[in-house]
Structure 1
Amino acid sequence: MKVKKLVVVSMLSSIAFVLMLLNFPFPGLPDYLKIDFSDVPAIIAILIYGPLAGIAVEAIKNVLQYIIQGSMAGVPVGQVANFIAGTLFILPTAFLFKKLNSAKGLAVSLLLGTAAMTILMSILNYVLILPAYTWFLHSPALSDSALKTAVVAGILPFNMIKGIVITVVFSLIFIKLKPWIEQQRSAHIH
């Protein structure tokens, strides 16, 4: 059973990596903020195997992305930010879906994940991530006003939109995948 879990998590990580490459900017937001659907396989991993599997998918896709594409900062600041954002987004599902085992419960947990990702990534971008980018790029530090503007006009709406879009897309996919996910989950439990 452990081999099957390893294979499934590896496959979901590979799919997540490919989905990460198929990204697109959202109109009206900075071009460096791109929406992708790479969190969908992590949600599937969480529903089947639990939180550690979802976190593993988030980690592996970002490691692969850094190895293959690198980072403009030279260090994986963007990948770390993506890992944190993805983990914040998917973790509420890991804990709430067990209690609210329905499509509605899934949507509620993903919307809570959206709220967690939006709020916490706004704070982390203000305090840590955006300053790290400027430091690693040897750029002048952003003023407090510029940081606030970047977060309020870019990061915050981006994460909210991304979370809502992924919630809607996954909720639609979940309707078709639910029997398979339940079959996989029951096979994993037994």
Structure 2
Amino acid sequence: MNKVSRTRVNVRVISRIGMLSAIAVVLMMFQVPVTFVVPSFIKLDVSELPALIGAFTMGPVAAIIISALKNILNILLQGTSTGFVGELSNFLLASIFTATAGFIYQRKHTFVGAMMGMLVGAVVMTFGAVISNFYFIFPLYSNFMPMEAIVNASHAVNSNVHDLWDIMIYCIVPFNLLKAFLTSLVTLLIYKKISPLFRA
């Protein structure tokens, strides 16, 4: 590939990453509470969808960049209500999910590979959510909302919750599995229709 061709490819990749990042920011604005799973201060969105599409079309590194840009742009547009803790968690978990899925899909470039990538990505993300939230994210968030209040709010959702570890098992695990399922489902519904746009 000559220098001109490489430049064109780089410009094309950068423009696609920018476009997907912008879409992700818009999707991030449409957050809905799922109070049958988690307290109302944790909301659900499908903003990982563009990063997952980026992972399948451009690879796992693109997915990580999209996940980062999405959160940076969201902070610039809407600010942060969690002292950047929520955005950090979103970036980490979105990167884990989409990059894992993209890594597997790159090695098995089939429908089965995509399914396997999303399934493994969901499991790895959920495990990462438990570890990061228990040891890092929730302790940081307790600077903005007392841990007792977090536990009480979670207990109101699920009476089995009595401490931080219970939150991980009864709230964080099902929440992340639900998020991964919805994102994966939408990706399966639209990917075949839009993938030709990324081959041009």
TM range (shorter): 0.7 to 0.9
- TM alignment of 1:109-120, pairs within 5 A: 109-120=117-128
Q: Which has the larger radius of gyration?
A: 2
1:47-106 CA-partner distances (Å, limit 9, x unpaired): 222222111110011011122222223x20000000011011111222111222122221
- Counterparts of 1:110-189 in structure 2, within 5 Å, are 110-135=118-143, 137=144, 139=146, 145-181=162-198, 183-184=199-200
State the partner residue of 2:74: 65
> What residue in structure 2 maps to residue 77 of structure 1?
85
Instruction: Find the counterpart in structure 1 of residue 159 from structure 2.
Output: none
TM-score calculated relative to the size of structure 2? 0.83
Q: Tell me which residue corresponds to 2:108.
A: 100
Q: Is the 8 A contact 1:103 1:175 kept in 2?
A: no
Once the two structures are superposed, residues 105-145 of structure 1 have per-residue CA deviations (whole angstroms, 9 ceiling, x without a partner) of 2111011110011111111101110000012x1735778x5
Number of residue pairs matched by the alignment: 181
Q: CA deviation at 1:169?
A: 1.2
Alpha carbons of structure 1 residues 102 and 131: separation in structure 2 relative to 1, 3 Å: same
Q: How does 1:17-56 map to 2 (within 5 A)?
A: 17-29=25-37, 30-56=39-65
Q: Which runs of 5+ in 2 are unaligned?
A: 1-7, 152-161
Q: Is the 8 A contact 2:49 2:187 kept in 1?
A: yes
Q: Within 2, Cα distance between the matches of 1:64 and 1:38?
A: 13
Higher mean alpha-carbon deviation, 169-178 vs 124-133, is at 169-178
Q: Point out the more displaced range, 37-46 or 158-167.
A: 37-46
CA contact (8 A) 2:59 2:106 kept: no
Q: CA deviation at 1:32?
A: 2.2
- Cα distance in 2 for residues equivalent to 1:34 and 1:111: 22
Amino acid at match of 2:23: I
| Aligned counterparts of 2:145 and 2:88: Cα–Cα separation in 1 | 19
Offset of 1:170 from its aligned partner?
A: 0.6
Work out the CA distance in 1 between the residues paired with 2:180 and 2:133.
17
| Structure 1 unpaired stretches of 5+ | 185-190
Secondary structure in 2 matching 1:101: coil
Q: Which runs of 4+ in 1 moved over 4 A?
A: 140-143
Task: Return the alpha-carbon distance in structure 2 between the equivalents of residues 25 and 103 of structure 1.
Answer: 32
Determine the structure 2 residue equivalent to 1:188. Answer: none
- Whichever residue aligns with residue 96 of structure 2, its letter is L
The equivalent residue for 2:16 is 8
Deviation at 1:27, TM superposition (A): 4.5
Say what the alpha-carbon RMSD is for the aligned residues: 2.0
Q: Secondary structure at the match of 2:109?
A: coil
